[in-house]
Amino acid sequence: MAAQNIPSFPPPSPNTTRSSNTTSLPSPTFSLQQPSNKKGSSKPSKLFKRFRSVLRSFPIITPTCKIPVSLNVNRQHNNHIHGGTRMTGTLFGYRKARVNLAIQENSGCLPVLVLELAITTGKLLQEMGSGLVRIALECEKRPSEKVKLLNEPIWTLFCNGRKSGYAVKREPTDEDLMVMQTLKPVSMGAGVIPTEASENSDGELRYMRAYFERVVNSRDSETYYMMNPEGNSGPELSIFFVRVG
């Protein structure tokens, strides 16, 4: 997948499911549905807001990852991983800003997970343009606390074996929801969403959307494999959630 220079094209027709285009953000009117396993959402706590402001000042560091990960998956003939659940995953952000990951049950639902990753959008797209990308997210297991894996607030981030800072779970912002609303008719693709330029952006919000197969290995381990639409090669992007200790 071309990753650095995403071309601009006219907006897709309403029935288009694959996309590589330039699309404008809509007005803040959302028609996204609640996911089946989430009846409501809560606002981020003051502690989270303070931590997020600190996170933005962290440098992106790159020591070696010690997390062993495997890409051996058992596929069926229809490009579906045995035991997996199909989800919609979207990576989006401004080129020089930190990239966000949103996971949805499908493109018409509110996100079940939004993570802010301490790696820039441009850097991640560059990694994907060079080949296979593995993102490992690790957090410490706390036996005294019963927290669902994807509800963990803070993760250590490894990209292709290199430690790249942290990832923080957060509630979706209005801008996140506008991105999801804009991309609602898009099943998979990559492109640019023009926005008003600000001090923290270059005015072009880049995105990549694809189907992911969610495989639950245990209560402390889940993997999301991006599915290649051609079905003749393995995942180009794999995301591992691991709780250790």
Write down the domain spans for the chain: 63-69+79-244
Q: Which of 133-137, 200-204, 241-245 has the lowest mean pLDDT?
A: 200-204
Question: Is residue 119 predicted with pLDDT exceeding 80?
Answer: yes
Question: Is residue 45 predicted with pLDDT exceeding 60?
Answer: no
Please report which residue ranges of the chain form alpha helices under DSSP H.
46-55, 121-129, 174-182
Using CB atoms within 10 Å of the CB of residue 146, give its burial: 0 to 12 exposed, 13 to 18 middle, 19+ buried. exposed
User: What pLDDT is stored for residue 28 in this prediction?
Assistant: 53
More confident residue, 176 or 1: 176
Please report which residue ranges of 56-130 form alpha helices under DSSP H.
121-129
* Digit-coded pLDDT (tens) for 151-204: 999 999 999 999 999 999 999 999 999 999 999 999 898 899 887 765 556 678
Q: Are the CB atoms for 24 and 130 separated by under 8 Å?
A: no
Q: How confident is the model at residue 65 (pLDDT cuts 50, 70, 90)?
A: very low
Q: Are the CB atoms for 189 and 18 separated by under 8 Å?
A: yes
User: What pLDDT is stored for residue 201 in this prediction?
Assistant: 60
Over residues 206-221, the mean pLDDT reads: 94
One-letter amino acid for residue 232 of the chain: N
What Rg value do the Cα atoms of the chain yield, rounded?
A: 17
User: What pLDDT is stored for residue 1 in this prediction?
Assistant: 43
Q: Are the CB atoms for 126 and 230 separated by under 8 Å?
A: no
Using CB atoms within 10 Å of the CB of residue 40, give its burial: 0 to 12 exposed, 13 to 18 middle, 19+ buried. exposed
Q: Which residues contact 233 (CB under 8 A, 6 or more apart)?
A: none
* Digit-coded pLDDT (tens) for 73-113: 444 434 555 567 999 999 999 988 999 999 999 999 999 99
User: What pLDDT is stored for residue 129 in this prediction?
Assistant: 79
